[in-house]
Amino acid sequence: MSDGHAWLTGWRVYTQLADRLRDRIVAGEYAAGSVLPSEAKLCQEFGIARNTARRGLAILEDEGLIVTIPSKGRVITAAAATPHAVYRYQLIAGDLREQIRHGELAAGAALPSELSLRRRYGASRNTVRQALGLLEREGLVVAEHGRGRFVRS
């Protein structure tokens, strides 16, 4: 273990692992073409089981940030390192944006909860929050503390 603060605990630890590794990839800690640490090293660093590591890595693979290459390991894709790459949160925001434009989500309507969006898109909490944050910055959605997010009137 690299430091005492790296351990992951709580519910859905595999999504926390995906969030941490995604942040490192986006920050450039792992360059395109580089190999992620092995499952064993990730288990040691984060204090998790191997199956948990595999589930977290599967999320990143589904997002197109990594690919598994036999005899090499999990490699960062070129798309992950490209600043103009479309990330999963951008796809989720795009889908919600289209629902707003087509009136499926009308002005004043409540957006689905984070949990239901996570389930619908098979995405982590962080990814869903990034998508919602993008829509808020664009002025399409407003957050009301304790009530949820709504399509701006």
109-120: per-residue pLDDT in tens?
999 999 999 998
Which tokens sit at 42?
């990730």
pLDDT at res. 3: 44
Q: Which of 17-26, 49-58, 59-68, 115-124 has the highest mean pLDDT?
A: 49-58
Within the chain, all domains assigned CATH 1.10.10.10 are found at 13-81, 88-151
| 50 vs 70: CA distance, rounded Å | 18
User: Where residue 4 falls among pLDDT bands split at 50, 70, 90?
Assistant: very low
Architecture of domain 13-81: Orthogonal Bundle (1.10)
pLDDT at res. 152: 92
pLDDT at res. 7: 67
Share of the chain above pLDDT 90, in %: 42
What CATH class does 88-151 carry?
A: mainly alpha
Which tokens sit at 54?
């595999």
Q: Which of 49-53, 59-63, 75-79 has the highest mean pLDDT?
A: 49-53
- The CA angle 114-120-121, to the nearest 5 degrees, is 90
The distance from CA 110 to its chain's CA centroid, rounded to whole angstroms, is 22
Q: Dihedrals φ, ψ of 10, to 5°?
A: 100, -160
pLDDT at res. 99: 92
The mean predicted confidence, pLDDT, of the chain is 85
Instruction: Choose between 79 and 69: higher pLDDT.
Output: 69
Closest CA to 124 of 34, 63, 43: 63
Which tokens sit at 107?
């002005």
SS3 state at 105: coil
pLDDT at res. 9: 60
pLDDT at res. 10: 59
